[in-house]
Amino acid sequence: MHLHGPLSRAALAERMNLNRSTIMALTTKLSAAGLVREQQPTGAGRSGRPSLVVTPAAARVYVLAFDVAVDRLVAARVSLGGRIEERRVAVRSRSGPDLAAVVDVLARFGRELHDAAPPGAICVGVGASYCGMIRPGDGMVRYGPYLGWVDQAFGTELGERLGLGLPVAVGNEAHLGALAEHRRGAGVDVDNLIYLHGDVGVGGGIIVGGEVLDGEAGYGCELGHMLVNPHGGRACSCGARGCLEAEVGERALLDEAGRPAGLIGRDAVREVVQAAGRGEPAARHAVAVVGDWLGIGVANLINLFNPGVLVFGGMMRDVYLGAQAQVRDRIAAHVLPVSRERVRLAVAALGDDTTLLGAAELAFTDLLTNPLTVMARTVT
């Protein structure tokens, strides 16, 4: 119900392959805990006794979700069922290590959203998406490129400043973006998915068999640091040269288009893509060059993982929309026919909220795993 909305008891029994008496017992417990409500169906239906419709208690149960990108900070109250009820947004300056400033803004936003929740509403979790490498378990940012975050206790600091008595679950933005698009966006009903996310650089998340692929220590799927140009490639923030991120990221596109060094941000990227669409020669050249490198990276990923869908989000959404021809040419030339015959290319269906909703899904994890335990603990 959290993912698919209201369902009748009969539909739940069919989807879960359980008998109706078991479903009735489960929904009764969930209703008593305040997680769902049951009601008669509206409108005309089939003859016989109608099956009660079970609806998530969206007005009563919510999480706080935070999204930390290079240029912006977002906070939201997200209700059970995945709907964003209210949000706050602030600009983040590219001014180097800024843990205290980020935590200060997000904690203030979080308390405002918490205080503005309806009377009787319960916060059951807190989740945050961060543009860097996150240590699983404690929300430590081991490495955050571009702004110099190294071993920053982000999750712990934010949890203490919020003062809600709830831990803050933190995840890599691209991993959470993959999770959100798999559950609610362009990859619904697809068990094997790749999500490419652009901010200043490029991140990636991979879903294999319905689960996020995160590696031995949780730092897997750094797709932006896949080598695509070993000969004379651009310098990357990681210290290497020729990484996918270096060849298709913000600076590569703006440099190829001849934009000034001080011009940065997603609006600048979109302007180049739009200018290319209008026929500006420098912008068309930039999109073609960057699109070709993107196509090489995408071809490699399809050959390696055989995904059902590959989703472009963040800045990569804009780049892909301008460079579809180059990307598809590389796929046609370099992807094995058996792998390319079914793969679908898509842009993030959740738009700019993909990583934010991924953070919300992370925050809902404990509730969805142990609903009665979490509600008993939270209410107490």
Q: How far apart are CA 313 and CA 316, in angstroms?
A: 5
Supply the pLDDT for residue 46: 56
Least confident interval from 14-28, 135-149, 335-349? 135-149
Mean pLDDT of the 272-301 span: 97
Q: How far apart are CA 92 and CA 184, in angstroms?
A: 27
Closest listed residue to residue 78, CA positions, set 292, 361, 332? 361
Supply the pLDDT for residue 149: 87
C-alpha distances in Å from residue 118, one per residue of 38, 61, 77, 379 = 20, 10, 11, 15
Closest listed residue to residue 145, CA positions, set 68, 253, 255? 68
Chain centroid to Cα 316, Å, comes to 13
DSSP code, position 335:
S
Q: How far apart are CA 277 and CA 288, in angstroms?
A: 11
Supply the pLDDT for residue 47: 55
Q: Where are the beta strands (DSSP E) in the chain?
A: 7-8, 36-39, 53-56, 61-68, 72-79, 83-91, 122-130, 133-135, 140-144, 149-152, 168-172, 193-198, 202-208, 211-212, 309-314, 344-347
Using 50, 70 and 90 to split pLDDT, how confident is the model at 210?
Answer: very high
Mean pLDDT of the 150-172 span: 95
Q: Which two tokens stand for residue 315?
A: 């800045």
Task: Please state, rounded to an integer, the average pLDDT across all residues of the chain.
Answer: 93
The answer to whether residue 182 scores a pLDDT higher than 70 is yes
Mean pLDDT of the 83-110 span: 93
Chain centroid to Cα 134, Å, comes to 14
How many residues are recorded in the chain? Answer: 380
Tokens 């009969």 belong to: 10
Using 50, 70 and 90 to split pLDDT, how confident is the model at 199?
Answer: confident
Q: How many CB atoms lie within 10 A of CB 162?
A: 22
Q: Which two tokens stand for residue 92?
A: 């983040």
Mean pLDDT of the 255-263 span: 91
Question: Are the beta carbons of 195 and 177 closer than 8 angstroms?
Answer: yes
C-alpha distances in Å from residue 266, one per residue of 93, 108, 163, 274, 291 = 13, 25, 33, 12, 17
- Over residues 25-69, the pLDDT tens digits come to 999 999 999 999 998 887 655 555 678 899 999 989 999 999 999
Supply the pLDDT for residue 217: 84
Q: Which pairs count as long-range contacts for 15-18, CB under 8 Å and 24+ apart, including other chains?
A: none
Q: How far apart are CA 358 and CA 364, in angstroms?
A: 10
For helices 281-305 and 266-277, give the axis angle rounded to 10 degrees.
Answer: 110
The answer to whether residue 115 scores a pLDDT higher than 80 is yes
Mean pLDDT of the 162-189 span: 96
Supply the pLDDT for residue 39: 87
Q: Which residue has the higher pLDDT, 45 or 305?
A: 305
- pTM of the full structure: 0.93
